[in-house]
Chain A
Amino acid sequence: MAVDLEQPKETVASGERRHRSFSPRYPGWLTSPSLFYYAIFFLGPLAILVAFSLATQTGFDSISYGFDTSQFHLVTDPLYLKIFYRTLVMAATGSLLTILVGYPIAYWMARYLTTYKLLALLLILVPFWTSFLIRTYALKIILDPNGYLAKNLGIDIMFTKYAVGVGLVYNYLPLFIIPVFASLERMDWSLVEAATDLGAKPFNAFRQITLRLTMPGVVTGALLVFIPMSGEYIIPNILSGGNYEFVGNVIGDQFSSAQNQPFGSAMSISLMIALSGFVALYILFATKEERFGA
């Protein structure tokens, strides 16, 4: 799908160059409404978040701006560092499981399906059209201590990190499958054919060609699930019943019940700093992929 527009398509089959007098462009000012919008409603809130994280709480609902780094010192308290560590480990585990579960599905769709390819894609997407909360609640019913799994199969994991893990994989699986499927679709399968024709074992052909060519898609997909998993708020809340809080829950609490907004802001900034490397990597891969395909 992605076509490189950097190089104007001027080459004719014979290799001669045809001079192109004109290339349709749209005026650059068309970006200004969205740029303006992002500046106010995206960068604006982030800027004030930084200001708040450095402010001092002077009363229950009042603060004074300044350059007070004490909230950041509080973030490095072992109690909160433990929550950061736990969140990132859970998100990494969740992403890894998502890759292991999801890659074979994307592969199966791209490799073996023809007539039903679109249907399979649709079936992957349909869960997105039922409420996220309802689906997580349904998981809660399935994992209920009095439910079938717990009573008859002895799988009683509700309100533990395992329930949170199941919730993460369940909710983010489609988000991973879609980009990986797209890169498998763009891949030139005749390369695999050539490799096997030249005597490569199927697994080696897969490892050396398919896996390598789809690696950018896998990295993009994995980051696309890892980053929001690290900021997850609802899943740990519902499935761990408060037993297994993520950083997102600590942040949320500062704004809903605890009312320590400078500390909540400092936690938010710290989360963004912790994730910044992954975010940068994601942006790099996502913008690159659009240019080179596969």
Chain B
Amino acid sequence: MPRRRRIVTPKRAFTAWAAVVFAFLYLPIAVMVLFAFNKPSPAALEGFTGANVCDLPPSQVGNVTVWNGFTTCWFNAGLHDPTYIPAILTSAKIAAAAAIVSTLLGLGAALALARMNKFVRAPFDSLVYLTLVVPEIVIAVASLIFFVQIRNYVPFFPQLGAWTIFLGQVVFGASLSMLVIRARFVGMGDSLEEAGYDLGSGRLETFRQITLPRLFPAIVSAALLSFTFSFDDYVLPAFTNGTTNTWPIVLYSAVRFGITPAVNALATLMLLATAFAIVITGLVLRRSRVTTAVEFEAPDAPITVR
């Protein structure tokens, strides 16, 4: 009996829902980009005689949450902003340092834990998950008290600032890195390492020539994740920053006390840079996928004749 053709198939229904949800996910991003091209409000421009409307001080651009007209000058204004640019650089430095230290800590723990007795592993795992799920506001205020109090006992401990932000963020980053690297490490099995040992190479040699190269994609993604988390983090830095301004802190005060489209312009540029980086990474990964595919074929399980 021939099957009746239906207009609403499950597949179509799901696809339609996916389209709606993706629109929901991307609408705010589209708005962010669009409003990077927004003019100051007509009321703000009334007495303004300068050549460049983006020269208006942030407090005087008026209501920019409604569309006032098209201009491209915010990109230039944003790139020369005396608060935003240094804050972005500070955030990038802290995030880079946090990513490196987090990845190293995570790598060490992942290597040792993956093949450890479960009675040792379970408590450590619980601690790691705990660092990820304790509400950030709690960690933030606890770290604030800790960093202030510790200076009474350890005088050379850094004052609240970039250092304390970094120290606080590494906790979360290390846990994240550990989980990402361990997932890959466990997934790839140990037969190639065993082969390395069997063929006479030592511990370090095997690690350097077999384990490390195969873990490399996971190490890179752990570092990128830690970087992203740290760069975008607001709550912890907001309490442990002292007088240091990071990009999210500057953004937050802009959102609360008067934002200019220059912020949207900078965020748009960063999104473009990220998208570019993703495409490049994708291309590189596609080239290396050939090797990964071969590894997947390499049998962890014994070969059976089909």
Contacts and interface: CB of A to CB of B under 8 A. Distances in A.
Nearest to A254: B141
Given A38-B131, A45-B145, A138 B31 contact: yes
A135 B29 contact: yes
Interface string A1-37: 1110110010111000000001111111111011101
B294 to A, nearest CB: 18
A248 B137 contact: yes
Contacts of B301: 9
A207 to B, nearest CB: 14
B29 A127 contact: yes
Contacts of B22: 123
Q: Considering the complex of A and B, which 9 residue pairs feature the smallest CB-CB distances, nearest first? A: A231-B135, A138-B28, A45-B142, A30-B112, A45-B146, A30-B108, A108-B14, A49-B142, A26-B111
Interface in B7-47: 10-11, 14-15, 17-18, 21-22, 24-29, 31-32, 35
B264 interface: yes
Interface centre among B27, B145, B228, B275 (most CB of A within 10 A): B145
A62 interface: no
Given A24-B193, A111-B14, A144-B65, 13 more contacts: A25-B116, A26-B115, A35-B109, A44-B146, A126-B275, A133-B251, A138-B35, A140-B255, A142-B27, A227-B133, A234-B252, A265-B142, A286-B129
A56 interface: no
Contacts of A271: 135, 138
A48 B130 contact: no
A129 to B, nearest CB: 4
B25 A173 contact: yes
Contacts of A144: 65-66
A223 B130 CA distance: 13
B197 to A, nearest CB: 6
Nearest to B120: A28
A37 B171 contact: yes
B302 A141 contact: no
B256 interface: yes
A25 B206 CA distance: 12
A52 interface: yes
Contacts of B235: 233-234
B112 A48 contact: no
A130 B135 contact: no
Contacts of A283: 125-126, 129-130, 133
A41 B65 contact: no
B122 A287 contact: yes
Contacts of B79: none
Contacts of B150: 44
15 contacts: A3-B186, A22-B194, A45-B142, A104-B14, A127-B29, A132-B248, A133-B251, A136-B255, A138-B31, A138-B32, A147-B66, A224-B133, A228-B135, A268-B137, A272-B134
Interface string B191-216: 00110010000000010000000000
Contact of A142 (B31, B118, B206, B274): B31
A45 B25 contact: no
A5 B114 contact: yes
Contacts of B280: none
A34 B174 contact: yes
Contacts of B29: 127, 130, 135, 138
A104 B24 CA distance: 15
A78 B129 CA distance: 32
A46 interface: yes
Interface centre among B11, B111, B135, B270 (most CB of A within 10 A): B135
Interface of B: 10-11, 14-15, 17-18, 21-22, 24-29, 31-32, 35, 63, 65-66, 104-106, 108-109, 111-116, 118, 120, 122, 124-127, 129-131, 133-146, 149-150, 167-168, 170-171, 174, 178, 183, 186-187, 189-190, 193-194, 197, 206, 228, 232, 234-235, 239, 247-248, 251-252, 255-256, 259, 263-264, 267, 270-271, 274-275, 278, 300-304
Nearest to A226: B133
A264 interface: yes
A13 B302 contact: yes
Contacts, number: 272
Given A112-B14, A123-B22, A132 B32 contact: no
A279 interface: yes
Nearest to A286: B129
A85 interface: no
A198 B66 CA distance: 58
A35 B174 CA distance: 10
B12 to A, nearest CB: 10
Nearest to B118: A6
Contacts of B15: 108, 112
A202 interface: yes
Contact of B135 (A9, A134, A230): A230
A146 to B, nearest CB: 5
B145 A42 contact: no
A67 to B, nearest CB: 18
A279 B234 contact: no
A255 B122 CA distance: 35
Contacts of A142: 27-28, 31
Contacts of B247: 131
